[in-house]
Amino acid sequence: MSENPVERLLDSRLVMVTGKGGTGKTTYAAALAVLGAVRGRRSVVVELDNQRPSLTAVFHKEPRFQPAPVRLNLDLANLAWEGALHAYIESVVPSRRVTNLILNNPVVGRFLDFTPGSREMVILSAVGALVEKYDLVVVDMPASGHAFSLLDITRSALGLFRSGPVRTRATELKSLIGDSRTQVVLVALPEEMVVNETLETIARMRSFQMLHHQPTVFLNRATLPSLTEVERELLRRLVAAEDLLPLEREFVLAGRWEDGLEQATATAQRVLAEQLGVSPLLVPPSVPGGVPRDTVEAVAVHLGRSVGATRREIAWT
Amino acid sequence: MDVNLDLDRWLAATRLVVCVGSGGVGKTTTSAALGLYAAITGRKVMVLTIDPARRLANSLGLKQFGNEEHQVDLARIPEAKGELWAMMLDSRSTFDALIARVAPSAEARDRILDNHVYRHMADTFAGSQDYMATEKLHDVVNGGRYDLVILDTPPVKNALDFLESPGRLVNFLDERVLRWFLEPAGRGIGGALLAGTTAIVYRLLGYIFGAEFLDDLATFFRDFQGLYKGFVERHDRVVSLFRAETTSFVTVCAPTEPSIDVALFFQEELRTRKLPRGGVVVNQVHLCDGRSHDARAVLGERVAAIAADVPEPIRASVLARLGMAHRRLAALASAESALIVRLRAGAAGGGFFQTVERQEADVHDLPALAKVGRRLFRPAEPI
């Protein structure tokens, strides 16, 4: 297997991208899927039962249950509950007539909707079905706590359902999650809370045997150190100066702001590396005010460098 | 609503604040800062939170006390006239406690807590935490021990899911579903006509989920039957609590495109659900209105004066970096202010609108929280 972490992700079958809310999960899921497509693998990027799919803004197309092409080698989907349920019942029940009988029964609808874990099982099954059809499936997972519950559902299902097709399916899904060609990606930010949640999520996933590999951690919006110690000392003197004019203060505060970002990045990088044994992959912030597509493109270009994908290949036409 | 022109008056008229918004926008900090501010002004406040940052949790004493109600030591805030209490929500133990409360007898309670299906169901419902937030809330508000309760909700971006989740549980326990399972021959619903279909469907469910599961479920429903009414009543009370005149929803966000989108969506959701909108707080705002980024022109002489001992190339390099930092900060501030203008227009009529600039250090102790609170309560403008 490749030593290059980005290449390793692009060579897998299933990549699940999670992280604390607001870290940029959707951006990384989209960027990785675009890179997979650029490398010639039949790829699909999916959201899970999202009522307001975030990928719409990236691909300028509303994702539906049936994957639809958005560019060469890349499809887009949103595994919404109704579609996933239909597909699921069809896959475990032989006849279409019987499927309809089940789906049209009002009590069954409620039962399936609210039986613990059925929603999660059905949606994970839809992911499993895509893995059969595509070379690379990239999933924009829910935020880390919910992503854990979603993956943990196979364990609950195995405890809850002692026989039958659901149990068989749960066993299959459990082995898919733990497969050597399945990878977990966590997107973090250089902030204390985010770093802690990232580490806690990994520890929990590890203790429940959800990880076949070391997960890949991207440290998003990382500001690389630019000041030397002598320069930083000069900045400290400026900060300490008491009689700064308002305009002078604005420049000094800007310098302090950027220095703060650099130090936060260094701290986050150190803590993650110490706890995980590997350094996170640092990705610089994109231009403020950029539209989602530009942000995805910038991240894809950054990640693509290590696998020889050029900006021209990545850019949308 | 002119009461919102003045945040102090808004707070005085409010008994329950529900902070909503996506993750990572400072919702917990805002909840805690609001709570501390109110406690300083003399009220007895409870902040219910989900997953605070470690150091913020420490300063609120949440690490030791976890999911017990406990009083925050305000010794470092001598001007505080009231009390601040805090509690972290732990879903599993809340769920067990809820069962204990609505169960008709100790035997019934134990039977359910030991039930195979319940144990897995509690994990699943508990996993989402959304439901438990409302469940505990009901308790704390109706306990009458506090005159202001602040609920820091779980980060959700799809909908006000936590409002629906009591309904989700109630629906699961719907009497029709119960009866259907307890009388699988189909005598329960629809009479004899449906009996045939029901029996087939039941058999099919047995085929899909396994016959043992349906048996487990029937046992579970039998034990749960007596609890249904209790759940429905509590759900109804929580819903009316959310709609009460003294309840106020505050949408918290950060000035980023996705966060603003979610905030606008929440405003719309609150409006269509006729839930009381208190206002909008935009956190983590960067300020920088400089037009020129020439650090040498602004700071050249100053640097020469305070760093005569530093070689000129280093001084030049620091000035160059300050210029770049200023350019970047100004670009960020201007992008943010465009987003804030959009949010402000979209949130018109939804109560107060307040921005809080990014704090230089992490807000993790009480004095820092008090500072954010004062910042929040500076005179706000109506939307």
3-state secondary structure B90-157: CHHHHHHHHHHHHCCCHHHHHHHHHCHHHHHHHHHHHHHCHHHHHHHHHHHHHCCCCCEEEEECCCCC
Q: How far apart are CA A202 and CA A144, in angstroms?
A: 9
Among A20, A153, A252, beta carbon nearest to B24? A20
Does A115 contact B362 at a Cβ distance shorter than 8 Å? no
Q: How far apart are CA A171 and CA A59, in angstroms?
A: 34
For B49, phi then psi, to 5°, come to: -130, 165
pLDDT of residue B199: 73
Q: Does domain B2-287+330-378 have CATH number 3.50.50.60?
A: no
Nearest chain B residue (CA) to A54: B258
Interval A85-116: pLDDT, tens: 888 888 877 788 878 877 787 767 666 766 66
Distance of CA A210 to the CA centre of its chain: 15
Nearest chain A residue (CA) to B311: A230
Q: Select from A132, A27, A127 the least CA-distant residue to A77.
A: A127
Q: Can you give the residue ranges of every domain in chain A?
A: 5-221+283-314, 224-277
Coil vs helix vs strand at A151: helix
Q: Which of A160, A171, A252 to mutate to test the interface with B (most CBs of B within 10 A)?
A: A160
Coil vs helix vs strand at A189: coil
> Over its length of 317 residues, how does chain A's per-residue pLDDT go in tens digits?
678 999 999 999 999 999 988 899 999 999 999 999 999 999 999 999 888 888 999 999 999 999 999 999 999 999 998 899 888 888 877 788 878 877 787 767 666 766 667 778 889 999 999 999 999 999 999 888 788 888 888 887 888 888 888 888 889 999 999 999 999 999 999 988 889 989 999 999 999 888 888 999 999 999 998 888 899 999 999 999 888 998 999 999 999 999 999 999 999 999 999 999 999 999 998 877 778 899 999 999 999 999 999 999 999 86
Look at the pTM and tell me if it is higher than 0.90: no
Does B124 contact A116 at a Cβ distance shorter than 8 Å? yes
Helices (H), chain B: 7-12, 27-40, 54-59, 62-65, 91-102, 106-114, 116-128, 130-142, 161-172, 175-182, 192-209, 211-224, 228-242, 257-272, 295-306, 312-346, 366-376
Burial class (CB in 10 A: 0-12, 13-18, 19+), A180: exposed
Q: Select from B292, B358, B76, B62 the least CA-distant residue to A264.
A: B358
Asked whether this complex has an ipTM greater than 0.95, the answer is no
CATH, domain range A5-221+283-314: 3.40.50.300
Q: Do the beta carbons of residue B343 and residue B263 sit within 8 Å?
A: yes
* Beta partners for residue A44, in sequence order: A75, A137
Read off the tokens for B261.
């989108």
Closest-CA distance of chain A to residue B18, Å: 19
Q: Select from A91, A77, A76 the least CA-distant residue to A121.
A: A91
Among A93, A194, A248, beta carbon nearest to B299? A248
| Chain B residues within an 8 Å CB radius of A168 | none
Interval B214-230: pLDDT, tens: 777 777 777 777 777 77
Q: How far apart are CA A42 and CA A18, in angstroms?
A: 22
Read off the tokens for A269.
């990088």
> Over its length of 383 residues, how does chain B's per-residue pLDDT go in tens digits?
333 457 888 999 999 999 988 877 888 889 999 999 999 999 999 998 876 666 677 777 777 766 788 999 999 999 999 999 998 876 667 777 777 877 878 888 888 888 877 777 666 654 455 566 667 788 888 888 999 999 987 766 555 666 665 556 666 666 666 666 666 544 444 444 445 666 777 777 777 777 788 777 777 777 777 777 777 777 788 888 888 999 999 999 999 888 898 899 899 989 988 899 999 999 999 999 777 889 999 999 999 999 999 999 999 999 999 999 999 999 999 999 999 999 999 988 888 999 999 887 778 889 999 999 999 998 765 54
The packing angle between helices A25-38 and A292-304, to 10°, is 60
Among A22, A228, A238, beta carbon nearest to B24? A22
Closest-CA distance of chain A to residue B143, Å: 30
Nearest chain A residue (CA) to B330: A254
pLDDT of residue B345: 94
Q: Specify the domain boundaries for CATH 3.40.50.300 within chain B.
A: 2-287+330-378
pLDDT of residue B128: 52
Interval A25-60: pLDDT, tens: 999 999 999 999 999 999 999 999 888 888 999 999
Element (H, E) at B193: helix B192-209
- Pairing state between β B381-382 and B352-357: antiparallel
pLDDT of residue A59: 95
Q: Which of A28, A49, A107 to mutate to test the interface with B (most CBs of B within 10 A)?
A: A107
Q: How far apart are CA A229 and CA B119, in angstroms?
A: 57
pLDDT of residue B192: 42
Number of C-beta neighbours around residue B311 at 10 A? 10
* Beta partners for residue B19, in sequence order: B152, B250
Q: Which of B202, B224, B266, B318 to mutate to test the interface with A (most CBs of A within 10 A)?
A: B318
Q: Which residue has the tokens 């940029």?
A: A24
pLDDT of residue A94: 73
Q: How far apart are CA A205 and CA B226, in angstroms?
A: 37
Q: Which residue has the tokens 């100004």?
A: B330
pLDDT of residue A298: 95
Q: How far apart are CA A117 and CA A139, in angstroms?
A: 19
